[in-house]
Amino acid sequence: MISSCAFAGMHFNCPGSPPETAAALYVFLYYICFLIYNSIFQNNHYDTQIKTRKSPSSGACSIPSLLLIPTGISGGNEFTESALKYLERGIVIKSTGSWYTVRKDSGACVECKLKGRLRTEGIRSTNPVVVGDRVLLEDDLIRDIEPRRNYLIRKSTNLSKQSHIIAANVDMAFLVVTFRLPETPVEFIDRFLVAAEAYRIPVCLVFNKMDMFSSKELVQMKHFEAIYRTIGYRTIETSATELIGIDALQQMFAGKVSVIAGLSGTGKSSLINAVNPGLQVRVGDMSDYHQSGKHTTTFAEMFPMQGGGYIIDTPGIRGFGLIHIEKEELYHFFPEIFKASAGCAFHNCRHIHEPGCAVVEAVENGGISKFRYHSYLSMMEDTQSKYR
Ligand SMILES: Nc1nc2c(ncn2[C@@H]2O[C@H](COP(=O)(O)OP(=O)(O)OP(=O)(O)O)[C@@H](O)[C@H]2O)c(=O)[nH]1
Ligand SMILES: [Mg+2]
Ligand SMILES: [Zn+2]
């Protein structure tokens, strides 16, 4: 007989309960707990693939927060085996926000809409389906998206509570940086790197418009490039117009799905054309950028590359607001700060002005670049605001 006190959690001391009954109750309660845990954590619609870093000092996982980004519009659970037989799989290669071009696994490309009713389900992003997403299709309707392996996300510039996903499921990101026309702010670069680090997306900094550098600027640029190289980032020097570094870029694109991003006018589309002259992606007129700051590429689109691989061209972005990154976690996404933090006196050091902070010491003795540290402090001050 199951004594009623078991349900009040008092079964340990129930007089008269034989040991077998107590054992059965343990099993029963364990099973209930297991069911509750599963329903909360295993069956949700969110990406729980957190990219944690081991703390250098404690050796324990020290990023407990989840990046709660919906990755399956309808949760991916509503289709039965027989229903799945009628759905086709494909990859989104262009997104305008109102319709999407999907390349089916069978090879055919189809223009699709998102099933209306799914639009708002659990979506906190301005663009629920993004280039690089793997989707399930029912004719020309997108019925679901498969869980994302990673994505590049920033804060949406207009709607403060929403995010904008730049691309999903990428092997590498190329950030195009120019010193002039336009000038790329250092903090913009560092914010982009932080967002990519959060999902461990390798980044290559592409220093474009090398043909425009004076010899003095070249020296400054080399110094700047060396700092990022020392941290561990890959870099490449290019000129889309003079075809400098294009072969090397082509080799880096090969065999991967990459995204190319940067401010408007830095030459993203021009570089894609330089690698793949047959594509003729629309590029801007230099004068437009000064007069109106207009964006030439308006939609993200994936292109196959001549030497292999795929590249996702993206519209220029003006600012890079971080989203879903806690201040306490921020230093994990600056590789050199994270490394130095192993020597901090306090395990909860924020690396601002705490005594015995090895990061501050490294900045003072030149082991960490001052401008990188400045970016860190600026993000710590306001990780929530959009950046410019
Ligand atoms: N001098 C010089 N001009 C370049 C180079 N790369 C691109 N440009 C020029 O820069 C302008 C902008 O190039 P785009 O390729 O349209 O730039 P984008 O980054 O794709 O711009 P959005 O699509 O607006 O984001 C064009 O006039 C290009 O000819 C370069 O390496 N050197
Ligand atoms: Mg472009
Ligand atoms: Zn510290």
Is residue 315 lining ligand 1, measured as CB closer than 6 Å?
yes
Which ligand 1 atom sits nearest the alpha carbon of residue 295? 24
Distance from Cα 208 to the centre of ligand 1, integer Å: 9
Is residue 263 lining ligand 1, measured as CB closer than 6 Å?
no
With a cut of 60, say whether residue 5 has pLDDT above it: no
Out of 283, 292, 312, mutate this one to test ligand 1's pocket (max ligand atoms within 8 Å of CB): namely: 283
Is residue 240 lining ligand 1, measured as CB closer than 6 Å?
yes
With a cut of 60, say whether residue 369 has pLDDT above it: yes
Average pLDDT over all residues of the chain: 80
Task: Please name each of the domains of the chain with its CATH number.
Answer: 4-42 (no CATH), 81-147 (2.40.50.140), 166-313 (3.40.50.300), 327-381 (1.10.40.50)
**27 versus 381: which is more confidently predicted?**
381
Is residue 178 lining ligand 1, measured as CB closer than 6 Å?
no
Is residue 266 lining ligand 1, measured as CB closer than 6 Å?
yes
> Hey, CA dihedral for 86, 92, 93, 97, is it positive or negative?
positive
Tell me: the pLDDT tens digits for 131-166? 999 999 999 999 888 989 999 999 877 656 678 899
Distance from Cα 191 to the centre of ligand 3, integer Å: 20
What share of the chain has pLDDT > 90, as a percent?
Answer: 58
Q: What is the band of 115 on the pLDDT scale with cuts at 50, 70, 90?
A: confident
Is residue 279 lining ligand 1, measured as CB closer than 6 Å?
no
Out of 270, 273, 287, 311, mutate this one to test ligand 1's pocket (max ligand atoms within 8 Å of CB): namely: 270
Is residue 154 lining ligand 1, measured as CB closer than 6 Å?
no
DSSP strands (E only) in the chain: 88-95, 100-104, 109-114, 134-138, 141-145, 151-155, 163-168, 172-177, 203-207, 234-237, 257-262, 300-304, 310-313
* Amino acid 362: pLDDT: 98
Which ligand 1 atom sits nearest the alpha carbon of residue 317? 25
Cα(21)–Cα(19) distance, rounded to whole angstroms? Answer: 5
Distance from Cα 315 to the centre of ligand 2, integer Å: 6
What share of the chain has pLDDT > 70, as a percent?
Answer: 71
Is residue 140 lining ligand 1, measured as CB closer than 6 Å?
no
* Amino acid 9: pLDDT: 33
**125 versus 128: which is more confidently predicted?**
128
Tell me: the pLDDT tens digits for 204-215? 999 999 999 999
Cα(329)–Cα(35) distance, rounded to whole angstroms? Answer: 31
With a cut of 70, say whether residue 125 has pLDDT above it: yes
**281 versus 246: which is more confidently predicted?**
246
Q: What is the mean pLDDT of residues 313-322?
A: 90
Distance from Cα 85 to the centre of ligand 2, integer Å: 39
Distance from Cα 361 to the centre of ligand 3, integer Å: 9
Task: Give CA 203 to chain center in angstroms.
Answer: 11
Tell me: the pLDDT tens digits for 185-194? 999 999 999 9
**Residue 170: Cβ-neighbour burial (10 angstroms; 0-12, 13-18, 19+):** buried
- pTM value is 0.81
286-290, 311-315, 322-326: segment of lowest average pLDDT: 286-290
Is residue 208 lining ligand 1, measured as CB closer than 6 Å?
yes
**44 versus 324: which is more confidently predicted?**
324
Tokens read off for 268: 């993203």
Tell me: the pLDDT tens digits for 35-56? 554 444 333 333 333 344 444 4
Ligand nearest to the CA of 351: 3
Tell me: the pLDDT tens digits for 230-269? 999 999 999 999 999 999 999 999 999 999 999 999 999 9
Is residue 136 lining ligand 1, measured as CB closer than 6 Å?
no
* Amino acid 323: pLDDT: 85
* Amino acid 169: pLDDT: 96
**60 versus 366: which is more confidently predicted?**
366
With a cut of 60, say whether residue 101 has pLDDT above it: yes
Cα(375)–Cα(207) distance, rounded to whole angstroms? Answer: 20
Cα(142)–Cα(105) distance, rounded to whole angstroms? Answer: 14
**126 versus 16: which is more confidently predicted?**
126
Buried b (16+ CB within 10 A) or exposed e, 242-255: eebbbeebbebbee
Distance from Cα 157 to the centre of ligand 2, integer Å: 19
